[in-house]
Amino acid sequence: MKIQDASNSIINEFDNFEDWMDKYNYLIELGKSLPMIEEKYKVESNLIPGCQSRVWLHAEFDGKLIHFTADSDAVITRGIANLLIRVYSDHTPQEILDASTEFIKEIGLTEHLSPTRSNGLMSMIKQIKMYALAYKTKLAIDQ
Amino acid sequence: MEKQLQLLDPMVIRKDFPILSTMVNNHPLVYLDNAATTQKPQAVLDALTDYYLHYNANVHRGVHHLSQQATIAFENVREKIRQFINAASSHEIIYTRGTTESINLVASTWGRKNIKAGDEILISEIEHHSNIVPWQMLCEEKQAILKVIPIHENGTLDMDAFYQMLTDKVKLLAITHVSNTLGTITPVKELIDAAHANNTIVLVDGAQALSHIKVDVQDLGCDFYAFSAHKIYGPMGIGGLYGKEHILEAMPPYQGGGEMIQSVSFEKTTYNELPFKFEAGTPNAGGAIGFGAALDYINKLGIDNIAAYEHRLGNYATRRLMENSNIRIVGTAPEKASVISFLIDRIHPFDAGTILDQMGIAVRTGNHCTQPLMDKYGVPGTIRASLAFYNTESEVDALINGISKVEQLFL
């Protein structure tokens, strides 16, 4: 699925929720269903700074696509990580770099998450884009 | 003669705090984050407005009417602060930006002059980062050693350890009066007496104490006492440092600039007398005047009445939280201010705080600027409810209901 399509389908899912409880219930569900990251990747160097809870993000590059896995000790953060992986994982570095982050606003997460928390969210996105840039550079050097 | 305690009526008091009728996420605000900052009564807002509307001018600098009026008001507040903490003289009160700056001032001036290689500075495990980092920086510069008094599981200081650590190498004891995370009230008087018998200077971090308990610096005997206005219903950006006169006199100045000088030439500058020697630059006069109004307000209610009300409300909140077997309270010292840190079993504090916020309940989650303390308890952080005299039992009930909702969602 294209990044834009994945974002749109998330926006549609969140459109169905009438109140905040439903929205958070769904985020919590997503948090609980996020596939477990391998324990060996939950290391200091994979920790994302700027979050109140601990968030680990691991990236693997197969020469074409980047695959992300993530984990957090907070469930809501895991739910958000799940959304980000749905959108950004299994894409080329260039696609990830070009993708807009508008869907976060559209589903009302920035307005419902306090600045300190949304900074955590922004830190996750920033880290994803950093990986994309790093692998794009690696590709250019290798070629 | 002992004054009779008066029962405070929070419903009357709440009318003095306009912000408390705010709606958050379609719920009435339940503000339980008073250890982070307190809300301001109308009297403080009025004092600030009155100052900027009618007599805003630079203090100590003009002969004109407004400057004199502002200077008088600014200096009157210094006297009010002196009375409030019972300092011997108003020039023992230095205006600062708040507790953090007060502690940094002592570290930079007294500390740099008096701390030598191999000396020891004693702090405790429950200190706020503000009472850790300035001493770490000083120790690094001077090759001195920072030592930490451990605590017991309930959050009280290990006094046996303290007495053992108090050797003749210890030149300074920097200790909090009330823990911002656990609420523990430390036995400062005992600590100060022991330190002084050992020729050790004592700084007390009073940020969390001033609004909750009666502070008398002469009775305590501390050498320095640091505090912030915004933790006691006054404005942000203003606070103070109390220091014993003879110690302040012997200290070099902090920052250089206007007001702190007596005469300046390019060859030599002589410094002003106390307290101005430590007050370089234009001060936060409006903030100070707001601080004065806050102290008047506290005096009107009576600090002992406030302490009694908060003690009762703190006990009520503790009892209600303990009814839930999923909740673990972190910090159960017998002597406690109305600050309650807790964890809900199997729920991350961040998750709980996010959902409570949706219900208009403001609590603090995280490490509360006391990371070493969180490490000690082996927790990622806690949820902290910190109560003030305008909080009510029904607000505590709202927190309890909020926690039920959180449990419903996550468990």
Establish if B311 touches chain A: CB-CB under 8 angstroms.
no
Give the lowest-confidence range in B96-105, B234-243, B253-262: B253-262
Distance (Å, whole) CA B154 – CA B359: 31
Q: How close B104 comes to chain A (CA, Å)?
A: 26
Q: How close A139 comes to chain B (CA, Å)?
A: 39
pLDDT of residue A50: 66
* Tens digits of residue pLDDT in B177-223: 999 999 999 999 999 999 999 999 999 999 999 999 999 999 999 99
Residue B38 within a domain:
no
A56 vs B contacts (CB less than 8 Å):
none
Q: How close A117 comes to chain B (CA, Å)?
A: 9
Q: Indicate the residue among B299, B319, B349 that finishes a domain.
A: B299
Q: How many angstroms separate the first and last alpha carbons of chain A?
A: 27
What chain A holds in terms of domains, given with CATH numbers, is: 3-142 (3.90.1010.10)
Segments of chain A scoring below 50 in pLDDT:
none
Q: What is the DSSP letter of B253?
A: P
Are residues B120 and B164 located together in one domain of the fold? yes
In the predicted structure, residue B1 carries a pLDDT above the cut 50: no
Of B350, B409, B410, the CB nearest to A53: B350
Residue B40 within a domain:
no
Are residues B133 and B224 located together in one domain of the fold? yes
Q: How close A120 comes to chain B (CA, Å)?
A: 12
Q: Indicate the residue among B272, B299, B326 that finishes a domain.
A: B299
Q: Where are any strands of DSSP class E within B186-288?
A: 201-205, 224-228, 239-243, 261-264, 269-271
Distance (Å, whole) CA B230 – CA B236: 5
State the pLDDT confidence band at B367, using cuts at 50, 70 and 90: confident
Which residues sit opposite B347 in a β-bridge? B344
Residue B37 within a domain:
no
Are residues B216 and B319 located together in one domain of the fold? no
pLDDT of residue B179: 98
**For range B96-113, the mean pLDDT:** 98
What is the overall mean pLDDT for chain B? Answer: 96
Sort strands B201-205 and B224-228 into parallel, antiparallel or unpaired.
parallel
* Tens digits of residue pLDDT in B52-71: 999 999 998 888 999 999 99
Look up the domain containing B152 and give its range: 45-299
Is residue A20 classed as helix, strand or coil in its secondary structure? helix
Residue in B with minimal Cα distance to A72: B348
Q: Write down the H helix ranges in A16-74.
A: 20-33
Residue B105 within a domain:
yes
Q: Which of B407, B398, B380 is nearest to A28 (CA)?
A: B407
Are residues B139 and B120 located together in one domain of the fold? yes
Q: Indicate the residue among B283, B299, B315 that finishes a domain.
A: B299
Residue in B with minimal Cα distance to A31: B410
Establish if B42 touches chain A: CB-CB under 8 angstroms.
no
Q: Where are any strands of DSSP class E within chain A?
A: 55-61, 66-72
Distances (CA, A) of B409 to A21, B403, B404: 9, 10, 9
Report the domain count for chain B: 2
Are residues B308 and B220 located together in one domain of the fold? no
Are residues B150 and B218 located together in one domain of the fold? yes
**For range B241-250, the mean pLDDT:** 98
Distance (Å, whole) CA A31 – CA A113: 16
B366 vs A contacts (CB less than 8 Å):
52
pLDDT of residue B386: 98
B1 CB-near residues (< 8 Å, 6+ apart): none
Give the lowest-confidence range in A125-134, B118-127, B394-403: A125-134
Of A6, A10, A51, A121, which residue is the catalytic one?
A51
The burial class, CB within 10 Å (0-12 / 13-18 / 19+), for A85 is buried
Distance (Å, whole) CA A143 – CA A132: 17
Distance (Å, whole) CA B133 – CA B116: 18
A21 vs B contacts (CB less than 8 Å):
358, 409
Sort strands B201-205 and B170-176 into parallel, antiparallel or unpaired.
parallel
* Tens digits of residue pLDDT in B322-355: 999 999 999 999 999 999 999 999 999 999 999 9
* Tens digits of residue pLDDT in B31-44: 999 999 999 999 99
Measured in residues, chain B has a length of 411
* Tens digits of residue pLDDT in B286-308: 999 999 999 999 999 999 999 99
Residue in B with minimal Cα distance to A29: B410
Of B25, B357, B410, the CB nearest to A28: B410
Q: What DSSP element (H or E) covers B147?
A: strand B145-149
* CATH code of the domain containing B325: 3.90.1150.10
**For range B132-138, the mean pLDDT:** 98
The answer for B 367-386 residues in CB contact with A (under 8 A) is 380-381
Q: Which residue has the tokens 């928390």?
A: A117
ipTM: 0.88
Are residues B350 and B283 located together in one domain of the fold? no
DSSP per position, B186-210 = P-HHHHHHHHHHTT-EEEEE-TTTT
